[in-house]
Structure 1
Amino acid sequence: MYSATLDSQSYVQGPPTQRFRDNLRNDTKYITSWISAGWTNDVMTYGNLIYLALITERIPIIAKFTPSHVDNSAPPFAFGEVIDVHRLSQAIGSPVIEWHEVKDSESKVLDDLGCWTVWESVQKLDPRPRGSPSLNWLRLDVSWTRAPDWVKLTAPGIKDNHASFWSLATLAFPETRSNSLELTNHPSPQHQVSLSPDDQLLCFDYLYYVGAQNAWEWESDYSPAWRFVGQHMHWNASLERLADEHARRAMNVPVNEPTPPYISIHIRHGDFRNYCNDLPLDQCFASLPVIARRVAEVQEELRTQKSIEVTQVIMTSDERDPEWWSGVRAMGWTWVDYATERTEEIYGKWYPVFIDAVIQSNGAGFVGTHGSTMTTLARRRVESWHGGPTRVVKWGSPNADDH
């Protein structure tokens, strides 16, 4: 299906156009979807979209990351400036295109498009398609058709928001598509046009909650979205270099010496406080000695399985309490001080989040926080890219991580 070249330019007519459709090739079918969660979940959403593109033999078109968890004043950030798209395309054997290669980012033209809403079919609380700031950035006026109820992964009575990859895939093909067009349609909000879901550019409102066999599949070793796509989403080389420079300064590595192996930690507290209910935070969250026990396990595994002695430990966390950070220093661990580095000032508001993720992924071993998707991806990357040992710290009650 694909030509020898996987260069994205071969799959559009030419430079970005005012209307997206003018740049799509008549002999090619595409697929797209949008994001509306925190950045890590958005990475997973795009991984799911690209996996769905593989099984439907379509070309995925990826929109920019939007600053939902960063700061709304930050501009959207191109997927290819975070992820090495060329390397990803080579690894999966399929081109990956970005929206700004298709439609001019400065275009004032409001394009009509018909899409499927999965969100309406998988949950009962919100009887509308899932919105996304991307639609405003891309100037898209979408007419939504409710996807069939059978796209839901779990049985109708089970409260869960996941759809099934292969159920969604059937809508990419003529028979199932034509049999499903009678379902509820919402006219587009601005032009008030009712359109059937587009066949050339297949689109879904939201693909974060999708699985092949079970919900929350990126947690599982068999996860097809991780195995066939996610593990090939390596960092853009310039971002990788920048993170390495920050890590080296945090560890005080002399200029002429190589970056030493280190253990990366991700401890998430921020919004997890909400799950502590009435429990005091010092009883809800794992203490530093509990985390240190996990670090020691990872060090021991590196020693016995790889014969390497790893003494450097880099902490990444959204904790704001200076006393807690003093405790981290007392452990002999380090961290990137983004204020002193003036990272946001020099590079922009997105970069502390990106650099944390790269540093986490490049640990020789990793210790993370149970229930955090940022931990899930860091753990997967360390295991897949470096063959490193990982641990996840449990929390939520006193002694939750006893083992």
Structure 2
Amino acid sequence: MQKIFCKVNNMKNIVLLFFISLFTYVSYSQSQGTGFAISSNGYIATNYHVVEGQDKIKVKGIKGEFTQSYTAEVVKVDKFNDLAILKVNTNLGNIPYGFKNKKENVASRVFAYGFPIIDLLGVEVKFTEGRINSNSGLMNDPRWYQHTATIQSGNSGGPLFNKYGNIVGINVAGIDNDEVKKIIGTETKNINYAIKTRYLLNLMEDLELQPSPNIGINKLDIEDQYIKIKNFVYIIFGDSEEKNRPKERVNNKPSTTVTKKKPIKIVEGPLNEKGWYIDLNVANDVSIKSGKPLMLFFTGSDWCGWCKRLVKEVFDKSEFVKWAKNNVVLVEIDFPRRSQLPEDLNKQNRKLQQMFGIRGYPTIWFVRPEIKNQTSVNYTQLGSTGYVKGGPNKWIEAAEKILINK
């Protein structure tokens, strides 16, 4: 079992996933990240968390064209290393850059390409420069680089190049400075992480995809490299709500599409309409008094297909309702896209998402709360699960294996 601390005094006890921000941008009922060409035959790489749980995947920016989107199929994933390979039915052209299999030296210059916060910053590919400042990531994770090329929401899945125009990593995450400062009183600035290219090359090998050679851009200056590379870096959209996005400007003419403001989701009291707690503070008290662990259900109630399926096949069934009443305290941690949660509830849920390192939905965590003082709650993790095929009895069987450690 592992403990996550909301407030700590000893740095050794910090579970650093609390501080991680995965840089997928969620806006207009849609998740958005970055991808890049890895084979001219339509193959594109991105982060797994960009496409996880999405019903449909769309790609924009192929050959520099942002008014046309292409439907993509997920053909290979590596969940552990947070990588995915997509396939679109079009030729991507001759890829100019190469792929570096060996590690990049610390202090080397690196350059990040991507599409952060496109609703605010627009659809021109953004370029930032920095340096490799560690050959390992969080908790000395050898799979990651730590670097200083600034990345933001929407950069997930974008390429990280060296000065020779070769890909050395795939941008994935950064440290949440606000949370670090809040908890330990120390600021962290511009700490970013990228997955080393060798893990992508392993995934490409499974599909018998040969990495493209560098076709001479290693001899160009950085400005000319950008011109060659930019048309091979793409916007990746998840879900099926692209029609709800405002249209791009075409020939500098504004769109006539009006984007409606999301309705506020009505929340009254500590329970939702199905009797699940939504106020964690109230649920903590109930859990401690009853001796039952919390069952935290991380969901996207109005967009996540697998979440809806789990509710229909398991949580709405009488077998589950009876089991839950005797064994757990139910808590819904919702991330709706077609409605807007009240600010305090949204803040609570986002904090829990970071605390438990949630990358996809549905995710269910079983935990025990322990109140240390008025401002500090410790959560002991018992285990996690998600969708389990086979109905309520199969799901309960999987949950019981976790709770046997309680």
- TM-score normalised by L of structure 1: 0.29
Q: Which has the higher strand share?
A: 2
Instruction: Between the two structures, name the one with larger relative contact order (CA 8 Å, sep ≥ 6).
Output: 2
Pick the structure with more helix per residue: 1
